Amino acid sequence: MTNPNMEMLKQDVQALIHDAQILFRDASDAGGEKASELRAQGASLLQQAIGQLQTFQQSALVKGKQFAATTDHYVHEKPWTAIAVSTGVGLLIGLLLGRR
């Protein structure tokens, strides 16, 4: 999932949660059958938000596994390059932390 997609998902989930909160507030103010209907709508909105978050989680997990596999393959194909890059990154981090 690309960064704009993640931002859209975040906004969608926030909107769904906000709508559900409004419905639950209205349901507490209303009585009888109307309250039950509003609670059901709120529960439906929350289920949609949970479903979207689960989809995002699965997508992130798949992409993470793909990245790990690609990295593992690269390290096995070019171990000295991987050592040099990781040493350089470690050195830069050490220099940045040493300045503080």
> Count of domains in the chain?
1
Give pLDDT, residue 2.
Answer: 59
| Integer Rg of the chain from CA | 23
Range of the domain at 11: 3-99
In tens, the pLDDT along 2-41 reads 577 777 777 877 787 777 777 777 776 767 777 777 777 7
Three-state secondary structure readout of 21-69 = HHHHHHHHHCCHHHHHHHHHHHHHHHHHHHHHHHHHHHHHHHHHHHHHH
Q: Which phi and psi angles does 58 have, rounded to 5°?
A: -65, -40
Residue 50 clears pLDDT 60, i.e. is over it: yes
In tens, the pLDDT along 65-100 reads 999 999 999 889 999 998 999 999 999 999 999 987
